Chain A
Amino acid sequence: MKQLSPSRKKLANNAVTYGIVVAAYLIIQVLNAGGMVSPSIQGQLVPICAYITMAISLNLVVGFSGELSLGHAGFMSVGAFSGVVVSLSLQEAIPSGPVRLAVAMLVGAVLAGLAGFIVGVPVLRLQGDYLAIVTLAFGEIIKNIINILYVGIDETGLRFSITNEAALGLAAGGRAILKGPMGVTTNVKLSSFTAGFILVLIALTVVLNLVNSRAGRAVMALRDNRIAAESVGIQVTKYKLMAFVTSAVLAGAAGALYAMNYSSLAAKKFDFNTSILVLVFVVLGGLGNIRGSIVAAAFLTVLPEFLRKLNLDQYRMLVYAIVLILVMLATNNETSRIFFASLRSKFLGLFKRKGGAR
């Protein structure tokens, strides 16, 4: 077999990833047209796309930048609620659903990116466990703030309050959109599988291009050896922040997509557990492996539906926890790593001998 050059190999690898996503979309659309997709799976299509985007974006931070972020759901939350507020307040101005969804996702992404910037500047000065715990803290703070935030709209524009609905002081004809702990109630579902598919493609394009660029190599150099990277003139804050904000932007868009798929949504949904869930997708898919993230996110989002049918749903989170521990032990323990490496070389050796004989 002819050896591919590294860049060619990367290109081929990326093409396979795009191919899988496009093929999955086409297959599901065809099956859907034939009425072969069960309603429970159909309801999961948009969340799957949202979670895939979340996993891709978190992988950028955890896998490529090497910083454990435990507050990713916070950015999803910012995107979700700002997206819903935008979509509901532009109901008259933009009658077309898909356009409004696009605008909402764009605004959600921008605001989440802004939040990512505000959070990222202080957070990225820290390292290791401290960084992880501070992202967790920011995630909780975002959840707390949205939990007490009231947003309403009347003819004078948007009104905000942190006490209660009455304090919004809405004029006649105005309505409250975000009602603190009650969250938001949308009357129309704007999200569609196609919109989710487009978002996944955008996320893929952004992340794969970033990773394979000069900036991406700088980010990975900082992950592998911060001091060495700094000494050759790579700016730590700039590149770490670039990865972090990009990740937040994508999470915000995913949040807006996710929110517009449900008729009601509260800030409680985007808590620490959601952050961990996305982390599980990333870790199981493989740190720094985008294709793995996609497959893991899709598989693990559909899995509960099957487990529910088998009445095993209650064990799901327990199994996730065990799998998380085992994967970490298998990939990071010296003994097990040597074992897997020898298994791999044996397997490859077998393969080569066969190739040689031919």
Chain B
Amino acid sequence: MSLLNSLINGISLGSVYAIIALGYTMVYGIAKMLNFAHGDVIMVGAYICFFATQNFGLHPIVGALLAMVVCTVLGITIERLAYKPLRQAPSLAVLITAIGVSYFLQNSALLLWKSDPKVFPQFFAFPNANGELQESFSLFGGELTITYVAVFTVLMCVVIMVALTLFTSKTKMGKAMRACSEDKAAAQLMGIDVNFTISMTFAIGSALAAVAGLLLCSSYRTLMPTTGSLPGIKAFTAAVFGGIGSIPGAFLGGILLGVIEIFAKVLNTNISDAVVFAVLIVVLLVKPTGLLGKTIREKV
């Protein structure tokens, strides 16, 4: 049963990674850049939601929507100010800029909201038969406990995945995104506004980051300015694992990585991060395009 419990925890954590990985994978697919600051957008989203609900007493759903709006604006602003001027620059320069943005967000958060960890409120608690608020429910006569947040996280992840798949395959905007990721110059000739499309991609990715921040902090309950950085890097690992640029790949990679991390944690808490990164290295060396990625041939 503890095995099953770990598996459920792993899938729940993996769903959060999958949602974050979507942001990475969409931006990478279209702008061909590693948005290092994505993890810190998660942290900003979580803080916004925290203050909206705790200090202003807003309903959690309003708080979540507010966080999504703020992160969307933040994502577009970052893209316009820091990344857009570097469209033609070498990838090394873009990556260093992205690291700079990540540091900027972390240190702004440190100044604005201080370094002491905040206890994130539990939104996912429902009354049981006796009317007491419960964070989890039991199955098989109490042998298996599942938290509500875990169930909600997995559901949310599946909904987002289906919605995004439909969005990219059916809508005009989605087609424009796919066209831009294939060939920017050709897309522009066909009358697609490439800059607007890239901004939209950042907007969607950042809104998802806000959702991911909320779910991550609901599971782990602590919020600090550095909360987003490690999950961000792990989610990138997940995106690479599944094949960067691929939406189902992000889902698959996220879930697998979450499960691997939880099982590694069961074996030894201190080395779970090392195991996750070892997975990344092995994947990149054995199959650099990931599980579901396309092979890109190098051209002269």
Contacts and interface: CB of A to CB of B under 8 A. Distances in A.
B222 interface: no
A138 B233 CA distance: 13
Interface in A28-62: 62
Interface string A165-193: 00000000000000000000000000000
Interface in B52-104: 82, 85-86, 88-93, 95-97, 99-101, 103-104
A148 B300 contact: no
Q: Is the interface of A mostly helix, strand, loop or mixed?
A: helix
A133 B103 contact: no
B174 interface: no
A129 B95 contact: yes
B107 to A, nearest CB: 4
A307 to B, nearest CB: 14
B270 interface: yes
Contact of A318 (B85, B89, B99, B111): B111
Interface stretch (B43-51, B194-202, B276-284): B276-284
A254 to B, nearest CB: 22
Interface string A130-165: 101110111011001101100000000000000000
B91 A128 contact: yes
A130 B284 contact: yes
Given A318-B111, A328-B86, A332-B89, A276 B270 contact: no
B107 A317 contact: yes
B97 A321 contact: no
Categorize the interface residue count of chain B: 35 or more
A147 B270 CA distance: 8
Contacts of A138: 277, 281
A320 B104 CA distance: 8
A133 B281 CA distance: 9
Interface string B8-47: 0000000000000000000000000110000000000000
A227 B236 CA distance: 28
Contact of B271 (A128, A148, A314): A148
A346 interface: no
B244 to A, nearest CB: 9
A317 B100 CA distance: 10
A70 B285 CA distance: 18
A134 B286 CA distance: 13
Interface centre among A122, A134, A145 (most CB of B within 10 A): A134
A318 B107 contact: yes
A112 B295 CA distance: 35
B93 A328 contact: yes
Contacts of B92: 62, 66, 68, 128
B120 to A, nearest CB: 24
B122 interface: no
A335 B84 CA distance: 12
A137 B235 CA distance: 13
A336 to B, nearest CB: 8
Contacts of B215: none
A130 B33 CA distance: 11
B278 A141 contact: yes
Given A129-B34, A314-B111, A325 B280 contact: no
A133 B280 contact: yes
B274 A145 contact: yes
Contacts of B273: 140-141, 144
Q: Is the interface of B mostly helix, strand, loop or mixed?
A: helix
A328 B102 CA distance: 14
Contacts of B292: none
Contacts of B281: 122, 134, 137-138
Interface residues of A, number: 44
B225 to A, nearest CB: 11
A328 B97 contact: yes
Contacts of A350: none
Given A122-B285, A126-B288, A140-B274, A333 B86 contact: yes
Nearest to B103: A321
Contacts of B288: 126, 130
A169 to B, nearest CB: 20
B149 interface: no
B100 A334 contact: no
Contacts of A126: 284-285, 288
Interface in B248-300: 268, 270-271, 273-274, 277-278, 280-281, 284-285, 288, 298, 300
Contacts of B177: none
Nearest to A283: B96
A279 B99 contact: yes
A329 B284 contact: no
Contacts of B157: none
B224 interface: no
A125 interface: yes
B101 A321 contact: yes
Contacts of B97: 324-325, 328-329
A140 B89 contact: no
A136 B96 contact: no
B298 to A, nearest CB: 8
Contacts of B100: 321-322, 324-325, 328
Given A138-B281, A141-B277, A148-B271, A332 B90 contact: yes
A144 B273 CA distance: 8
21 contacts: A66-B92, A68-B92, A70-B99, A133-B236, A133-B280, A136-B233, A140-B277, A141-B273, A141-B277, A144-B270, A279-B96, A283-B96, A317-B106, A317-B110, A318-B104, A318-B107, A321-B100, A324-B103, A325-B100, A332-B86, A332-B89
Given A133-B236, A145-B271, A227-B300, 10 more contacts: A70-B99, A130-B240, A144-B274, A148-B270, A279-B99, A320-B103, A325-B97, A328-B93, A328-B100, A332-B89
Give 3 closest A-B pairs by Cβ, nearest first.
A324-B100, A137-B277, A321-B103
